[in-house]
Structure 1
């Protein structure tokens, strides 16, 4: 095996040579050298080429590609190719196909058409993994194993009979007895009490709202089932290819919530993720930053891999805008700012045919004589210069708590408002902090919170007693803790905590909420000099200072924002979603009380993030505005390879990475 490229920001992406005639391969190598590509992910969707019939393997072409990459000093992240079955497998075993919520079979013809619980699919996938591990474990190009691809992107949740049987087994292990399951699910409601395990089905399409805890447990089951499948492949690789790191690519995008990545992270030797700019979002650049920060949280604060992003347009949005000149570089370095030491793209060469033929690539349809490829070449040069940053860590004194299981519960059936999505508040707070040059780690409630001066708890609807106690302990130890509305409401079984909201945080905050007052889409309430939307609450300050009150609407005169001193810290409560200016003023008060300072004094629209190590520090400045900006910083800009400051203008859309004096 070879080591991962570490003297530079590794640059590369998915390579699919099986889509092209062999005479193209040598040209690929020339262009990879020209553009500074140092790694490729190989074989992700190659199962039908590697095993054209059951038990009949063809590795000759892959041998040649592996050798060619080794000759050109390119590291290989070799996929197990188990992401999508070949047609012969689903034709011989249609029982492996997934079934949707309404009972429809999802047929072959796309990708990922397999049931997560299928033992037949698992057996065939493990057989292929074994063959690959035996053949390539000692190949000098091999640097990493890539298990499957984007788990749960298309085939979860599955509601087939195989999953139903698997779900019952999972429930027996989790709850031990029907009595405990009935208690956890609250089946006294609507005559849902179960008297035999065989009576339990997946939460399929039914007459009206499904049991919320039934739905929550099914999400847990599907995530756990895929994780067990991942572990099975990883175990084969660990046995037959010891010492080679293993990863699978997460999808830490705002809209993807099928897997509990906090549980998955512990099973990865390297944390990697895919991210694509979603242009339909109100704040796509802010979502990119949030994705990087949650990925870094999954990596325990250390560097991580961006396995996939795009040079320009994707193919799966209603409208797929091309990226502006310079945006390929800007998006890439924005991820490096948040902790990425590897920049991967989908894909190397833009496909001639298939569903992703209009998805951009490092080498576009126009070929290397194109502005896009020239920008890729420039990115390769910069990645080389950024080698000194590799291994450094992002500096942060603020934690934003994020829990996929809380997200699952908060998005369950029959909630007080469908206008309040779980990510909304976390994204807003993260974005407003980002506008102030303040970096936040996005971490699970089980993370060590003692390292942070500020802990933000946004809409943490479901929370365990243990995690609630950790938040209280952080305040007691000196942190400024900001808890927002709709937090602490339920326990891990999605049972409401009685006695008044916000349940688990009521004593910490010194407030008691008797009733929610969710707002319609067009409604607003006045809070001090600002406005609140989407949500409001009837708050009583039991043992807390009232900072702001509602000044109109049904809650006029009632507390809206409170603060309570706790130990050597404080606990703040926000009961509505404030506009940006008012939210920013509140966050200024919270961070000011904690002594948190920005990485740099920057105007709104310029990101400022600092990475540091024992060798020094590097200030990343990303100008997302349409005009040049002046930032007070001095040092050497590794992007432009020239001195920066004290009065250097950062051009519109430009990035600087300043080795600080």
Structure 2
């Protein structure tokens, strides 16, 4: 899909006939600049190899300056200029932020917090996902845009809104309350079924009428946990519904133009269940920004990998990332030489067929004026722009990769939004649990071993993987429990962790002892959790040093087929099992009862992977310091080799045609610090 988006254009940036290739570009905001700058923009885009831009994302006030006033002249000219330059347009519906006149005339569109505070205009995304007034005006704008540009030759895709839910995912207004009740009626049908699901016998919360139900607004104590969980589900669905109504209108008017919206799979952005949204759009798009910390590029790789999992291994669109520093972190550090290319190519390695930035030209005013861009404040005579142009040349070299899928790894790590939501709610054994960090630690530990892994959703066919790891899979409905059992019984190797399998889809405890839904499969029983205080740790009797933190479990082995791989050496449960594995035919089910972190997991993983025979696919010198990711089509495998370090790494023994990178005297690739090499091999 993405590799053919640009085929609608008559020619590329240098006049060559269009063929499938990687897309390259940025958000383009010409309305921020005088008309004379636009011609220079087109010239520099061609110089950089830009072939696609997103236009109109925050242009509603410019397009519709008043209720019955429209100004398309400037946008007509921009579309024409881009087409003449051989640059495709991912045209936004411009509904991300309402114009001042709309919020002034209709303040009832503004979101309301759990404490009852109105979120006023002055920033962005100041609208309620459930507001019928907002939706009426938004769809009016969408219709105008679609009818005007339906046949414009520059149009290659539609971009619905922008980062849906980034600032307005949770709205507690009266509009939201009405919509929440409608959503609950559809889910539960009867008030009695809802009462059972919500456990309203507790704290005298039983409802006798739907109108009594509210969103979980600021309360005197902890709100009902299932109410909180359902409100998270509802809020994600409300945004998904808005995506659908814009999409349906666009498909009605322009049925042959694909529709997308930009997800934000990164960091702690968790309010939107993107695994659930993916089927609503024609191709998956994502925004990602590097987060500072010890695992910053591992987090980038993890997020890109997860986007590929959401996209079922098919190519996707990197809609936004940064050329250098952002503006919204406490300290905004510029990227080092090589980081711009490495970050971009790491996304390509995990399936991105488009590499785009926020934004094309760095703003001179506004809240994001210190956010880097392809053309920085210093202009084209800058290290950033030279790196941008060099990356454009690299992406043209990688044109054969366009359209290829991610090759399935042997290890799958399950990432589940509902377990993320439920495991981090209040009134739990600890509020220190970090669902995403636990998954990232397992991923980093696998990278440290040189082993490839896919980040997948709970809906993925698990039989594709020899080993499936389910970090803190807290919420396991009965159907998923049966599927995990079937997977193991048919020869798969499952690795589970603490606080997994504890509740069902209603956030009700699986009774009889933890880990509830996995208890029989794992062959263990836990009567009581042992969360650890800040700073407390426990030692395990694994080879080398293995220290657990955050959590321990009082485990009793209940099945003779269970092998204890490690015991606690210290702590309340000293002498008790800490890591277990139950053999089931040709499969196995293991349990890790404490947070070992990246270093501790690296020591344990070889034992957990051994039954499946999974190990490194890299030359010895590259294990742990190079990330390997593979894309493939019918003819070729494309090995992306990413240097995770600031040292030079030889790849002696690695065969294939070197598409990107440099070779040593022995003819094999050599990775400079932070460099990426791409090697093509025949498909087998």
TM class by shorter chain equals over 0.9
Tell me: CA distance 1:290–1:90, structure 2 relative to 1, closer, same or farther (3 Å).
Answer: same
CA-to-partner distance for each residue in 1:141-170, whole Å, 9 max, x for gaps? 111100000011001211111111111111
Tell me: CA distance 1:642–1:391, structure 2 relative to 1, closer, same or farther (3 Å).
Answer: farther
Is structure 2 residue 577 aligned with structure 1 residue 559?
Answer: yes
Matches within 5 A, 1:312-323: 312-323=324-335
Match of 1:3 among 4, 7, 12: 7
Q: Report the equivalent of 1:425.
A: 438
Tell me: CA distance 1:328–1:180, structure 2 relative to 1, closer, same or farther (3 Å).
Answer: same
| TM-score normalized by the length of structure 1 | 0.98
Matches within 5 A, 1:379-528: 379-395=391-407, 396-528=409-541
Q: Report the equivalent of 1:376.
A: 388
Match of 2:336 among 324, 330, 334: 324
Q: Report the equivalent of 2:635.
A: 615
Is structure 2 residue 680 aligned with structure 1 residue 659?
Answer: yes
Q: Report the equivalent of 1:212.
A: 225
Q: Report the equivalent of 2:93.
A: 80
Match of 2:657 among 627, 636, 653: 636
Matches within 5 A, 1:276-287: 276-279=289-292, 281-287=293-299
Is structure 2 residue 260 aligned with structure 1 residue 247?
Answer: yes
Shift in Å, 1:503: 0.7
Shift in Å, 1:648: 4.1
Shift in Å, 1:563: 0.9
User: Which whole-Å CA distance do the structure 1 matches of 2:96 and 2:499 have between them?
Assistant: 38
Is structure 2 residue 663 aligned with structure 1 residue 650?
Answer: no
Conserved? CA contact 1:636–1:643, under 8 Å: no
Is structure 2 residue 64 aligned with structure 1 residue 64?
Answer: no
How many residue pairs align between the two structures?
A: 660
Structure 1 residue matching 2:532: 3-state secondary structure: coil
User: Which whole-Å CA distance do the structure 2 matches of 1:528 and 1:11 have between them?
Assistant: 51
Which runs of 5 or more structure 1 residues have no equivalent in the other structure? none
Conserved? CA contact 2:444–2:598, under 8 Å: no
CA-to-partner distance for each residue in 1:365-406, whole Å, 9 max, x for gaps? 000000010000000000000011112222212111111111
User: Which whole-Å CA distance do the structure 2 matches of 1:429 and 1:491 have between them?
Assistant: 24
User: Which whole-Å CA distance do the structure 2 matches of 1:297 and 1:175 have between them?
Assistant: 30
Tell me: CA distance 1:160–1:315, structure 2 relative to 1, closer, same or farther (3 Å).
Answer: same
Tell me: CA distance 1:300–1:191, structure 2 relative to 1, closer, same or farther (3 Å).
Answer: same
Q: Report the equivalent of 1:310.
A: 322
Moved more, 577-586 or 381-390: 577-586
User: Which whole-Å CA distance do the structure 2 matches of 1:593 and 1:77 have between them?
Assistant: 48
Shift in Å, 1:8: 2.6
Matches within 5 A, 1:292-303: 292-303=304-315
Shift in Å, 1:653: 1.4
| TM-score normalized by the length of structure 2 | 0.94
Structure 2 residue matching 1:25: 3-state secondary structure: helix
Tell me: CA distance 1:6–1:219, structure 2 relative to 1, closer, same or farther (3 Å).
Answer: farther
Conserved? CA contact 1:549–1:558, under 8 Å: yes
Structure 2 residue matching 1:547: 3-state secondary structure: strand
Structure 1 residue matching 2:343: 3-state secondary structure: helix
Shift in Å, 1:265: 0.5
Conserved? CA contact 2:6–2:20, under 8 Å: no
Structure 2 residue matching 1:3: 3-state secondary structure: helix
User: Which whole-Å CA distance do the structure 1 matches of 2:40 and 2:548 have between them?
Assistant: 58
Structure 2 residue matching 1:520: 3-state secondary structure: coil
Which runs of 5 or more structure 2 residues have no equivalent in the other structure? 9-17
CA-to-partner distance for each residue in 1:536-575, whole Å, 9 max, x for gaps? 1001111111111111111011111111112321111111
CA-to-partner distance for each residue in 1:249-301, whole Å, 9 max, x for gaps? 0000121001111110010100010000011x331111101101110011001
User: Which whole-Å CA distance do the structure 2 matches of 1:30 and 1:202 have between them?
Assistant: 52
CA-to-partner distance for each residue in 1:68-96, whole Å, 9 max, x for gaps? 11111111111000111000000000000
Match of 1:94 among 103, 107, 124: 107
User: Which whole-Å CA distance do the structure 1 matches of 2:28 and 2:666 have between them?
Assistant: 40
User: Which whole-Å CA distance do the structure 1 matches of 2:346 and 2:479 have between them?
Assistant: 35
Conserved? CA contact 1:309–1:345, under 8 Å: yes
Shift in Å, 1:101: 1.8
Q: Report the equivalent of 1:531.
A: 547
Moved more, 40-49 or 430-439: 430-439
Match of 2:612 among 590, 594, 598: 594
Shift in Å, 1:603: 3.4
User: Which whole-Å CA distance do the structure 1 matches of 2:21 and 2:103 have between them?
Assistant: 43
Q: Report the equivalent of 1:361.
A: 373
User: Which whole-Å CA distance do the structure 2 matches of 1:32 and 1:194 have between them?
Assistant: 60
